[in-house]
């Protein structure tokens, strides 16, 4: 029997009635009482929480029910992927002893679909965010990023002409003095920055501060201006403080030559607090930007954040104006952000020809900061080469994110399968279900895994192909722009090949690092 969403929902009232008559509700309430398990009652698995419960705001001092919505026992892939339920002990909340204790309290003789629902209510995973992550990774737009560079081409250096008539020999170009960089760092100080990056001991805020200190120390001291601003650092994330917090932004440091001691002291006074007025701080940071860019100085803005604007502003529109008025390149480092947030933050950088990178640990954060310093050392290069660096870096980060997500989802599917399989064997051994029911549930568990693994491989291949095609199109486009400005084709191709070789070596180094970390974890 295949359990579809429509079939399961249509029978929910009958299931409720049967379970009520059999006294099942009392048994499951006992499970919740004796084990602390908050698995949703079997008879409620397919019933949406009432609108009244969702709308009602219970004061903090009052006791309220926070029972999670459990996964329904679907067998169709689309239903599984869109189900918004999650088992009480799924993912990192898994507790084998509590799962077995809950299974001990499971009533005997449940039908196959209800018994399967019971297991999913304990350890079933939710895959909506995984679907959304694949979607986000497939929505990248390298063309829009290159468009920004093309539109500003007249303001940046061009390649050395490939040839000229014999009567007009090519003069030896006079080396341009290294450009200065005007770097504005915007540090998210909203309340969420108190949380940590995965498997890190310090807060995101402390990690970000360390990254800013790294940047300040590595920037070329003789041609760098640095400002550090914070936003959302006042008030709290409570509604009553929203107006105050949404108006809070301040410059905490500015210097032509960095004093690391003063910068560290200024950063030490900043703590995670309230909301996220990103558009406001970006707009007000225009006062720090230099006019006349990019002749002798360039304006660059680096946003370090784990969230997006929640004060009603529009950071993307502000970013467009800053690039139009000051030719500012805006770069963003997202600290372990969700797919929706990544889309928004990425767009802020894309519309200015800047770079975006999501980081999930301090190693990645250090690499992201290192890339910003390396970019400063390329300010005098022809615009096509700089755009090529930007596209290669974006493609590298997207490929890395895609590979990582593929690996994580496959591990998630496998772990769910192992837990469901073990639970199914346990209730068979304890006599909760008969062999026929066990066989049916076993086929559903195996089918669930197979469908999810096939989906994961398929989406990985689709997105990977899309990234490669988009990357190749923009690389060829930049080559054409290079030749259009008189550059030698071979020079661009040689540079592109070298950058791709460097990128390949970087990928291999990252793979070795991942394998080493995995081996270390397994040996612990």
pLDDT at residue 162, as a whole number? 66
Both tokens of residue 490? 């071979």
pLDDT at residue 426, as a whole number? 97
Cβ density class 437-468: b for 16+ within 10 Å, e for less: bbebbbebbeebbebbeebbeebbeebbebbe
Nearest partner of 304 among 184, 198, 231, 208, judged by Cα: 208
pLDDT at residue 522, as a whole number? 56
68 touches 56 (CB < 8 A): no
pLDDT at residue 54, as a whole number? 39
- Beta-carbon contacts of 64 under 8 Å, excluding residues fewer than 6 positions away, are 58
pLDDT at residue 39, as a whole number? 43
Answer yes or no: pTM beyond 0.85: no
Instruction: State pLDDT tens for residues 386-441.
Output: 999 999 999 999 999 999 999 999 999 999 999 999 999 999 999 999 999 999 99
pLDDT at residue 391, as a whole number? 95
- The ranges of the chain with pLDDT < 50 are 8-66
The secondary structure of 74-143 as a DSSP string is --SHHHHHH-----TT-GGG--HHHHHHHHHTSPTT--HHHHHHHHHHHH----HHHHHHHHHHTT--HH
pLDDT at residue 408, as a whole number? 95
Q: How many residues does the chain have?
A: 524
The β-bridge partners of 387 are none
Q: CA distances (Å), 52 to each of 49, 57, 109, 160, in order? A: 8, 10, 34, 69
Measured distance CA(438)–CA(271) in Å, rounded: 54
């Amino acid at each position: 029997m295949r359990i579809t969403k429509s079939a399961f929902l249509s029978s929910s009232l009958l299931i409720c009635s049967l379970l009520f008559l059999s006294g099942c509700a009392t048994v499951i309430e006992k499970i919740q009482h004796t084990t602390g398990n908050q698995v949703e009652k079997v008879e409620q698995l397919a019933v949406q929480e009432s609108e009244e419960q969702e709308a009602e705001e219970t004061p903090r001092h009052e006791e309220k029910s926070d029972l999670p919505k459990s996964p329904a026992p679907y067998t169709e892939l689309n239903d599984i992927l869109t189900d918004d339920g999650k088992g009480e002990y799924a993912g990192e909340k898994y507790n084998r002893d509590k799962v077995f204790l809950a299974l001990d309290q499971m009533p005997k003789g449940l039908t196959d679909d209800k018994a399967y629902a019971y297991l999913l209510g304990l350890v079933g995973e939710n895959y909506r965010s995984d679907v959304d992550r694949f979607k986000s990774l497939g929505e990248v737009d390298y063309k829009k990023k290159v468009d920004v560079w093309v539109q500003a081409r007249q303001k940046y250096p061009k390649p050395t002409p490939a040839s000229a008539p014999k009567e007009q020999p090519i003069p030896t170009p006079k080396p341009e003095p290294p450009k200065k960089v005007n770097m504005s760092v915007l540090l998210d100080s909203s309340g969420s920055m108190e949380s940590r990056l995965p498997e890190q001991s310090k807060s995101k805020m402390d990690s970000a501060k360390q990254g800013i200190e790294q940047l300040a120390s590595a920037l070329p001291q003789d041609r760098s201006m640095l400002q550090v601003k914070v936003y959302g650092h006042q008030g709290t994330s409570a509604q009553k403080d929203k107006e105050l917090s949404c108006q809070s932004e301040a410059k905490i440091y500015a210097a032509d030559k960095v004093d690391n001691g003063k910068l560290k002291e200024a950063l030490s006074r900043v703590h995670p607090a309230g909301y996220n007025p990103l558009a406001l701080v970006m707009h007000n940071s225009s006062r720090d930007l230099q006019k006349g860019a990019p002749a002798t100085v360039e304006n660059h803005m680096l946003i370090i954040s784990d969230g997006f604007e929640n004060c009603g502003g529009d950071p993307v529109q502000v970013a467009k104006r800053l690039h139009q008025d000051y030719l500012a390149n805006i770069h963003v480092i997202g600290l372990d952000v969700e797919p929706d947030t990544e889309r928004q933050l990425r767009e802020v950088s894309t519309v200015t020809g800047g770079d975006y990178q999501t980081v999930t640990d301090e190693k990645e954060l250090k690499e992201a900061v290192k890339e910003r310093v390396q970019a400063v050392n390329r300010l005098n290069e022809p615009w096509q080469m700089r755009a090529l660096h930007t596209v290669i870096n974006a493609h590298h980060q997207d490929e890395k994110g895609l590979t990582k997500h593929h690996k994580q989802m496959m591990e998630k599917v496998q772990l769910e399968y192992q837990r469901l399989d073990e639970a199914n064997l346990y209730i068979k051994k304890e006599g909760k279900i008969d062999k026929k029911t066990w066989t049916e549930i076993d086929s559903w568990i195996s089918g669930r895994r197979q469908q999810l693994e096939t989906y994961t491989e398929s989406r990985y291949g689709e997105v990977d192909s899309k990234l490669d095609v988009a990357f190749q199109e923009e690389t060829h486009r930049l080559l054409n722009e290079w030749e259009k400005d008189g550059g030698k084709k071979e020079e661009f191709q040689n540079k592109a090949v070298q950058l791709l070789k460097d990128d390949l070596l970087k990928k291999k180094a990252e793979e070795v690092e991942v394998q080493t970390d995995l081996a270390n974890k397994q040996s612990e």
